[in-house]
């Protein structure tokens, strides 16, 4: 997708309007406004403690906003339970790897697919006979490039393969909007490059919101970037404009981006 996203009327996939979140006396998210276009890849960056994960928790329904509105397309989702938001088309991954280590790669993905159809995991039903589930699981296995590991236990995969599996499980619900919280955390340069490439492929046609500390990833993968500082969005723009934004440099990026 081109980064020329200014002044075009484009459908909005996700929007936050004057969203606030306080924990007791602590006003952590302070009037956040954000709009993500359909199909765009959007990063949220900012210093530690700025509120990035909290924004994710608010969007995905783990937290309820103290005030403000969050919409998925036209639909108001703020205040809905996380599971309902997921069924409406929004999926997220967490900072920690979130797979079943004692199940095989195939079984992990199959669980994700079954959840999408509201099916329970039962040992006595011939689940493997459900053609649609099997087809979709096979498809996912290939998409996340883990076919050769189909029978490997989740816990025996390398770290980056576990992250690929986790992304696959997130995609199992076929979400319109995908939130990924630090998907490259703890990866080597090679693993990061591999995962960026994989994410580019997997998120084509979807809307991606990513929190990531690796600036190379953010600037190469994303169409737009929002900068969050002390619970407020201080800028939303293309990577190039964010790189050259003096306020952003002073508030957060410093010499990192100028380099």
Ligand X SMILES: Nc1ncnc2c1ncn2[C@@H]1O[C@H](COP(=O)(O)OP(=O)(O)OP(=O)(O)O)[C@@H](O)[C@H]1O
Give the range of 44-52, 97-105, 169-177, 185-193 binding ligand X by CB under 6 A.
44-52
Distance CA 128, CA 220 (A): 40
Q: Which is nearer to ligand X, 95 or 152 (CB)?
A: 95
Q: Which is nearer to ligand X, 49 or 101 (CB)?
A: 49
Distance CA 255, CA 156 (A): 39
Q: Is 92 in the site for ligand X (CB under 6 A)?
A: no
Distance CA 110, CA 121 (A): 9
3-state secondary structure of 250: helix
Within 10 angstroms of residue 57's Cβ, the number of other Cβ atoms is 20
Sign of CA dihedral 217, 219, 222, 228: positive
Q: Which of 53, 143, 152, 241 binds ligand X (CB under 6 A)?
A: 53
Q: Which of 45, 51, 91, 187 binds ligand X (CB under 6 A)?
A: 51
Total residues at the site for ligand X (CB under 6 A)?
11
Q: Which is nearer to ligand X, 52 or 92 (CB)?
A: 52
Find the shortest distance in angstroms from Cβ 211 to ligand X: 7
Find the shortest distance in angstroms from Cβ 48 to ligand X: 4
Cβ neighbours for 102, distance < 8 A, ≥ 6 positions apart: 153, 154, 155
56: its two tokens:
């994710």
Find the shortest distance in angstroms from Cβ 138 to ligand X: 35
Q: Is 54 in the site for ligand X (CB under 6 A)?
A: yes
Q: Which residues bind ligand X (CB under 6 A)?
A: 23, 26, 28, 46, 48-54
């Amino acid at each position: 997708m081109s980064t020329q996203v200014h002044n075009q009327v484009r459908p909005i996939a996700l929007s936050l309007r004057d969203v606030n979140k306080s924990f007791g006396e602590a006003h952590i998210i302070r009037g956040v406004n954000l709009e993500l276009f359909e199909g765009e890849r959007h990063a949220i960056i900012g210093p530690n403690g700025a509120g990035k994960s909290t924004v994710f928790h608010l969007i995905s329904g783990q937290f309820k906003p103290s005030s403000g509105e969050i919409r998925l397309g036209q639909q108001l989702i703020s205040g809905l339970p996380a599971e309902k938001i997921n069924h409406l088309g929004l999926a997220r991954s967490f900072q920690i790897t979130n797979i079943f280590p004692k199940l095989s790669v195939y079984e992990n993905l199959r669980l994700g697919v079954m959840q999408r159809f509201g099916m329970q995991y039962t040992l006595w039903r011939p689940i493997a006979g459900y053609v649609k589930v099997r087809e979709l699981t096979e498809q996912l296995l290939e998409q996340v490039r883990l076919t050769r590991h189909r029978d490997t236990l989740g816990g025996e995969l390398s770290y980056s393969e576990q992250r690929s599996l986790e992304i696959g499980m997130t995609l199992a619900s076929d979400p319109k909007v995908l939130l990924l919280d630090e998907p490259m955390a703890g990866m080597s340069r090679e693993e990061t490059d591999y995962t960026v490439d994989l994410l580019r492929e997997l998120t084509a046609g979807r809307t991606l919101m990513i929190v990531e500390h690796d600036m190379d990833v953010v600037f190469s993968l994303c169409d737009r970037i929002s900068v969050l500082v002390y619970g407020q969005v201080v800028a939303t723009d293309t990577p190039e404009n964010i790189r050259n934004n003096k306020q952003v440099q002073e508030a957060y990026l410093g010499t990192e981006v100028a380099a």
